[in-house]
Structure 1
Amino acid sequence: MPGDDISFREEPVGRSPALDVLVLLAFSSFLSLWGLVGGPGLGDHEAIVPLGARQIRETGEWLIPEVNDLPFIRKPPLAFWLAAAASYVVDPPVVQPPVSPLAARLPSALAAIATTLVVYGLGRSMFGHRIGMVSGAVMAASAGTLFFSHNAQVEMVLTLFGTMAFAGFWWGTETASRRSRAIWLCYASLSLAMMAKAPMPLGTVCLPLAVWWFFVKPAVRDAAPVGASRPTYSAGVWHQIVRVGRLRPLSGIILFGLLFLPWPIYVYSNVENALYLWKIEFVDRYSGELSGRSQPFWYYLPIALALTFPFSLSLPEALAAPFRNVYREHRKGLLFALTWATIQLVFLSISAFKRPHYLIGALPAFSLLLGPVLDRLFIAARAFDRRRLHLAAVVIVLAIPVGLVLGAVFVQREYADVMRAYLVGGLLVGVGAVAGTIAFVRRRRAFSLATLCVSSGLAFGITWDAIGLSRALNGQVDTMADQLRAESIGAEDRLTWVVGRPDARLAYSLGREIQPLFSPLEVAPFREGRATIPESLVTAGADRLRRLLAAAQEEYFIIDADFWDRLRQNDGLPAREVLRVPGDEIDDTDDDWVVITNPWNTGEEEDRSGGRNRAAESTSAGQPAGTQ
């Protein structure tokens, strides 16, 4: 019945586009920069970045960065370059070793701010200034941006250059005023994205653009004069093939080659087994050889909802928006964003090796899809069914405490040490959601959207700082670092990580290098991937460990407790256990870290010299040290 509808007028919003953009810039900067000097310690993968940047500053070797004194060529060096450059700006000269967590995370924060502005600019060209502002606000306040703007991994930088490539392609093909310049932006940004994390942009940028140009764009029906016949779909595909020359592909390939190819060519020419390692990292990673178990095809669907929080409830409508008549005036832009998001999603889902952070590159596309939907919901004039509106408000208000309780159960089970921080952040999100719902029902929809954005940002920032103050997430690393110092095992002592890659957090915390028993380049020819470890590699590792322990040189090794117990029981490995640090799982001792050393090494200098003599004598007699 008409009487059951509630009519909402268009919400009054900013009247000056320039001032609006300044507000968006300030909002994004506040959210992305807050907590960079605090928060949790660097994670394992994060800490690789400052380790590589630290060795760049100490050695001056920029082209082939090193981590733990070994060439790190698994990924291109852009993340190391940016962190090293940031350390020159933000780290005082007295900081030793150089490259602080602030310097490591600052490039990601700046990339998040820049990505927000690019999303706004692309949204404005697609949908107009107001929707562009909504899309930019969604990008700035989404959980994915909030988290990865505070993460030293290269994902946010990769997202920036990927977004710039999509924006350059759209501007170069859909806006006549920017056509000559924007297509160069596309090729240059693609090259920089490859320098961030090659070869992923080939699948997450080039593939969606190709699908859009050859298959989706021919289906988009632009306005035509009345009575004019429309071309068939096949004719449209052929037309796009003919128009490829407008993309200046030859010039683009040359620019791409000049900006990206010199680095892999240089590495291939100077690092032995580089091709084997790249094959493992790229081909075997995608096919699943690097993982013992494959995640389901739908793995990224809940990840998409998590990345777009607190706007997740509108994501299904955003994905359907290109096909709804109510959004028909924005159909072309929505189809471009949908192609971007869905082809990335499919490309990543086909891979057997899945990780949550791989999907962050689709967040700008989700933000563009959400822009028109949230504009219609919170700003544009429209009518709502009274009973449905009130029912939705009641459901949201009741669902909030249920969601917070379920979240608390999960946090208590998986991350009990951060429960207090979760409760603070959850309370802020809940209060913001309730306040936003009440404001919406009272016809203050723009205020409701602002409340949603601000409350989620505040909740993240306060929770981030609280986790940092609690020092809850790196307990095993901190304990190991403290105990190594207590045992006077310092930078002058040889320290080797026995199984796999050394934990980068520990090396960063100690301010020293920790060598692996086998370098990645040594391991590469041994096997096809990491799903299974060949017995020959295990045998070679045990033999090398035995030789080092029997030598006269003082050695320390960090080894997983389960592997150490197996070697000690089955092989009678001669060694002295120095210390043992429990893992994060209290009931699982297999994750404990054990430090072992030569059997003659008691830690006292005089015992060391005597032990060296005894080791030399027993070795010359054909008897391994420590077996007498």
Structure 2
Amino acid sequence: MAMSTTGGRRRGLGLAWLLALCFLTLGPALGTASRLTYHEAFVAQGAREILASGSWEHPTIGGRPWLEKPPLPFWMVAAAGSIAGRVTPLAARLPSALAATFLVLGVAHLARRHYGTSIALLAGAMQATTSWTVLRGRLAEADVSLACLIVWTLVAFDHLRTTTEINPRRWRWAFFVLLGLTSLAKGTGFGAVLVGSVVLVVLFWDRRPEAVRRLIFPAGWLVSGLIAVVWPLAMVAKYGPGVGSLWLMHVADRVGDRSGHGFFAGESWGEYILGVLGQGLPWTPLALIGIVHAFRALRRGELSAGDRLMLAWTVAPMVLVSLPGGRNTHYAIYAIVPWSIWAALTLARFGSRLEARGRSALRVRRTAVVGLTAVAAAYGLVFGLFGARFDRRGQEWAFYEQAGALVRSDEPLVLLYDDWDRDPYPTPFGPIPHDLAVRLYYLDRPASWHLDGDPISTEADSPPSSLAVVARDRDLPALAELGDVQTLARGPHLRWDRVFSLFRVVPIRPTVNSASSTPVPRTMKTGS
């Protein structure tokens, strides 16, 4: 009984330590170290519009349906915003930080099953202090949430393949439910394909019929499939086949060599390899040593069940995400989760060598704990003290906050775009500029936008007394045709092609054609 109590206390202390490391790396200045990125703003603004409309079926951006991504990240941020009272940057990023924390716990749980408590704590601590965990865990994006779901799906699979239980109902249902949820995080079927690649390799490698039989579970596959496809089918039924074409276009752009605008987020092999290695820092060298050690054990035929799972997880998803022309470093994070366990095994071997040379085991363990805690604290200090200082793009977003405060509540606000800007995202509901979400989020008010060739007209039954416009200086001649122009605020000169100002236009009343006595509206073209 005393031994059981001692073991439980140690596990509790280990869990508390891992949670503390996650808090140190993810907590400091989570909402203030930087302003939202373009991609984060889509999630935050989409969640804000969910709360404003009360409709949770799908997010919108500027009132238009935004169906590029599945809704789970938007739902999580909207839920956090509902609890917080509004979708603040902290509320937007908190779900990702929690997902990163649960990911760390999943890695530790898996490592403990195969390698013991000491390796579990080292692996969890290394995952908590790996650069991609920290960086992705501090962004309101889908990547770390999908990674967390993949980890726990494979944890459930590992229980199914190795358990001695005759009917492990809890883990069987967990596997199928989590497998379905991966499709709601980042692309229908994407996470399931990555998990499936690992499962198939491991089942073939293990050659254990009982593990295969546990996966022959029609009710589980039905539930998993329903979770994955109900939302996409509902969107196709509501908005037509164009939605399905949109998703197919995204897949084709990533899988194919080229799309209409060149490589879709593609990287050269040199950039990609360096990026993948960089995401595993500071533990990449230890992880690579661990992987080499595992391949040597494979050649000798000495791999354990845990080693087989880790190798399959390291290789199969990496192949799938690396071969397409649209490969990108951040897709590889789902394959490098096992690196933390490889690194932990390597560090443990180094510790054993130190003990063999006369160092006490207690001193070696304390050194590891202090060192890992110091790395976590360094992350927190850097983000807490210096994060905002290096956020150059955030200066532009601060300008939009200022502009939103200067525009009267009853004054229409227009955003002008032209061919100098990046092409907008094509959607079945019309194009959406890539920075529209971040502008709307920081303006914190409705705004319309106009693309080159799309006219702005002052003709209306009750034209506004003034019009607020975010535009460039080169738009001033066209704005002057609408009326008197006042400059209310100027944005920062961060990039020569992104210097915007806030103008107020007091419209000129329509002139009257003397021949027909018909009012002639005055219009403009953006960028004219």
The reply on whether 1:476 has 2:386 as its aligned counterpart is: no
Aligned equivalents of 2:289 and 2:296: distance in 1? 9
Aligned equivalents of 2:519 and 2:309: distance in 1? 75
Indicate conservation of the 8 Å contact 1:138/1:371, yes or no.
yes
> Is 14-23 or 110-119 further displaced after alignment?
14-23
1:130 matched to which residue of 2?
118
Cα distance per residue 1:66-122 (max 9 Å; x no partner):
122111111111111111111233x2x4xxxx2111111111111111111111111
Task: Select 1:280's aligned residue among 249, 272, 278.
Answer: 249
Give the deviation of 1:459 after TM superposition.
Answer: 1.8
Give the deviation of 1:369 after TM superposition.
Answer: 2.2
1:204 matched to which residue of 2?
194
Q: For this pair of structures, how many residues does the alignment match?
A: 489
Aligned pairs (5 A) from 1:441-590: 444-470=363-389, 472-473=391-392, 474-483=394-403, 485-486=405-406, 488=407, 492-496=411-415, 498=417, 499=421, 500=424, 501-503=433-435, 504-517=437-450, 542-543=452-453, 545=454, 547-549=455-457, 551=459, 558=470, 581-585=491-495, 589-590=496-497
Residue identity (%)? 24
SS state at 2:415 partner: strand
* CA gap 1:270/1:82 in 2 versus in 1, 3 angstroms: same
Task: Select 2:282's aligned residue among 274, 292, 310.
Answer: 310
Give the deviation of 1:341 after TM superposition.
Answer: 2.2
The reply on whether 1:289 has 2:259 as its aligned counterpart is: yes
Indicate conservation of the 8 Å contact 2:414/2:469, yes or no.
yes
Indicate conservation of the 8 Å contact 1:497/1:514, yes or no.
no
Give the letter aligned to residue 334 of structure 2: G
Task: Select 1:183's aligned residue among 139, 147, 172.
Answer: 172
Aligned equivalents of 1:454 and 1:23: distance in 2? 9
2:3 matched to which residue of 1?
none
Cα distance per residue 1:531-554 (max 9 Å; x no partner):
xxxxxxxxxx543x2x32475566
Aligned equivalents of 1:613 and 1:48: distance in 2? 38
Cα distance per residue 1:429-466 (max 9 Å; x no partner):
xxxxxxxxxxx999943344334322221221111122
Give the deviation of 1:62 after TM superposition.
Answer: 0.3
Indicate conservation of the 8 Å contact 1:348/1:354, yes or no.
yes
In the alignment, structure 2 segments of 5+ residues that lack a partner are: 1-6, 425-432
Aligned equivalents of 1:206 and 1:40: distance in 2? 36
Task: Select 1:44's aligned residue among 38, 41, 45.
Answer: 38
The reply on whether 1:378 has 2:351 as its aligned counterpart is: yes
SS state at 2:127 partner: helix
* CA gap 1:159/1:443 in 2 versus in 1, 3 angstroms: same
Task: Select 1:143's aligned residue among 131, 155, 175.
Answer: 131
1:252 matched to which residue of 2?
220
* CA gap 1:464/1:158 in 2 versus in 1, 3 angstroms: same
Aligned equivalents of 1:342 and 1:616: distance in 2? 74
Indicate conservation of the 8 Å contact 2:267/2:328, yes or no.
no
SS state at 1:603 partner: strand
Aligned equivalents of 2:513 and 2:137: distance in 1? 54
Indicate conservation of the 8 Å contact 2:288/2:343, yes or no.
no
Task: Select 1:351's aligned residue among 320, 324, 333.
Answer: 324
Give the deviation of 1:377 after TM superposition.
Answer: 1.7
Aligned equivalents of 1:53 and 1:263: distance in 2? 17
SS state at 1:495 partner: strand
RMSD: 3.7
Structure with more helix by fraction: 1
Question: What's the TM-score, normalizing by structure 1?
Answer: 0.69
Cα distance per residue 1:164-211 (max 9 Å; x no partner):
111111111122238443232222111111111123213322223223
Give the letter aligned to residue 277 of structure 2: L
1:17 matched to which residue of 2?
11
1:111 matched to which residue of 2?
99
Cα distance per residue 1:241-281 (max 9 Å; x no partner):
x9744312533320112222211111111124212221222
Give the deviation of 1:305 after TM superposition.
Answer: 2.5
> Is 252-261 or 153-162 further displaced after alignment?
252-261
The reply on whether 1:56 has 2:29 as its aligned counterpart is: no
Aligned equivalents of 2:278 and 2:31: distance in 1? 25
Give the deviation of 1:619 after TM superposition.
Answer: 11
Aligned equivalents of 1:193 and 1:159: distance in 2? 9
Question: What's the TM-score, normalizing by structure 2?
Answer: 0.81
Aligned equivalents of 1:330 and 1:491: distance in 2? 69
In the alignment, structure 1 segments of 5+ residues that lack a partner are: 1-12, 219-238, 387-439, 518-540, 597-601
Aligned pairs (5 A) from 1:314-393: 314-325=286-297, 331-379=304-352
SS state at 1:16 partner: helix
Indicate conservation of the 8 Å contact 1:310/1:456, yes or no.
no
Give the deviation of 1:61 after TM superposition.
Answer: 0.6
The reply on whether 1:71 has 2:41 as its aligned counterpart is: no
Aligned pairs (5 A) from 1:421-432: none
SS state at 1:590 partner: coil
Give the deviation of 1:364 after TM superposition.
Answer: 2.4
Cα distance per residue 1:514-541 (max 9 Å; x no partner):
4454xxxxxxxxxxxxxxxxxxxxxxx5
Give the letter aligned to residue 373 of structure 1: T
